[in-house]
Structure 1
Amino acid sequence: MFKSIGAAFCFVILFSSCDKLDELTKFDIEYNQRVTIPSSAGVDLPFDVFTPETETNSESKFEVNDTRKDLIEEIKLTELEMVIISPSDADFSFLNSVEVYISADGLDEILVASLDEVPANAGGTILLNTEDKDLKEYIKKDEFSLRLHTVTDELMSTDHELQVNSTFFVDAKILGL
């Protein structure tokens, strides 16, 4: 009887320790990019805006979290927020819809976030709906870029500078464990 209780106790401790170790291999990586939506001459016309290529610095970010590129199990975009930087009094009422695509050298461009109907009262910050896709190959690259496919529903007389804040959830193994 003592052997079975001892074995059960060891199993519970071992299982609990594995869960705690597994939690140590999960972390977020954040990227902030700026993009300018140019003043437009028309309404309801789709147009694309590209972010500059963003260095992922993934190797150093993985190292800080005690892992490496080859130990990454999955990376998913969990949040994509767009914030108007200028003009300071602007809001997103000019925007009808937005889709965000990610691309990296040697990989196909894919949709990662969207907002089909931007609310008229959205204010200066909007959160997009993220896609449930594994993006580890994109973030493991040295650089990636985002393309914003937008449709306006108002005439814009000035350029709008936006900050695109993205949060990626990383699930990795701790140095081989």
Structure 2
Amino acid sequence: MKKIVFLSLVSILLFAGCEKIDKLTQFDMGYKMTVVIPSSTGINLPFNFFTPDVQTDSEATFAIHSTSKELIEEVLLTKLTLTLTSPGNGNLGFIKSIDVFISAEGLPEEKISWKTSSSAAKTIELDVTGKDLKEYIKKDEFKLRLSTVTNELLTSEHKIEVNANFFVDAKVLGQ
């Protein structure tokens, strides 16, 4: 009986310890980009906007967290938000639908986020796919394409800040 209790306690401690170690190798990486939608963009017609190439700086970030590209197990997009930064009196209610795609050198373009309607707010959070994006984040840079349909004519240029948060799960160096 004592052996069973002892083995149960050891198993619980080992399991709890593994969970704590696992948490040490999980972290977030955030990226901020800006896209500009010109005035006179058509209504109910799809159009594309590209972010500039985003430098991932993944190797430096991985090193800070005691890991490397080779030890990354999974990278998930957990949150993607759009925030209108100008015009000051505007909102994102002009967006009828939006799809966001990621691409990187040597990898196919992949849909990662979308929203089918937008409220008249300055910030909206898009739905995310939950796909593993580790190969894109391991690259030196990636690009986002925003495929958008508007429901009103824009009379002025709109600047939108795109914030993407990625959850990274990695192994610790040497394990």
Same topology, TM > 0.5: yes
- Counterpart residue number, 1:61: 61
Q: Distance in 2 between matches of 1:132 and 1:13?
A: 31
Runs of 4+ off more than 4 Å:
none
The CA deviation at 1:66 is 1.5
- Counterpart residue number, 2:39: 39
Distance 1:139 1:41, change over 3 A: closer
- Counterpart residue number, 1:175: 173
**What TM-score do you get using the length of structure 2 for normalisation?**
0.96
- Counterpart residue number, 1:150: 148
- Superposition pairs for residues 1-177 of structure 1, below 5 Å? 1-119=1-119, 121=120, 123-177=121-175
Percent of aligned pairs sharing the same letter? 47
The CA deviation at 1:56 is 0.2
Please give the secondary structure, in 2, of the residue aligned with 1:36.
Answer: strand
Q: Distance in 2 between matches of 1:42 and 1:69?
A: 42
Please give the secondary structure, in 1, of the residue aligned with 2:93.
Answer: helix
Partner amino acid, structure 2, of 1:49: F
The CA deviation at 1:41 is 4.7
Length, aligned pairs only: 175
Gaps in structure 2 of 5+ consecutive residues: none
Partner amino acid, structure 2, of 1:83: T
**What TM-score do you get using the length of structure 1 for normalisation?**
0.95
The CA deviation at 1:9 is 1.9
Distance 1:35 1:4, change over 3 A: same
Gaps in structure 1 of 5+ consecutive residues: none
Partner amino acid, structure 2, of 1:136: K
Partner amino acid, structure 2, of 1:146: L
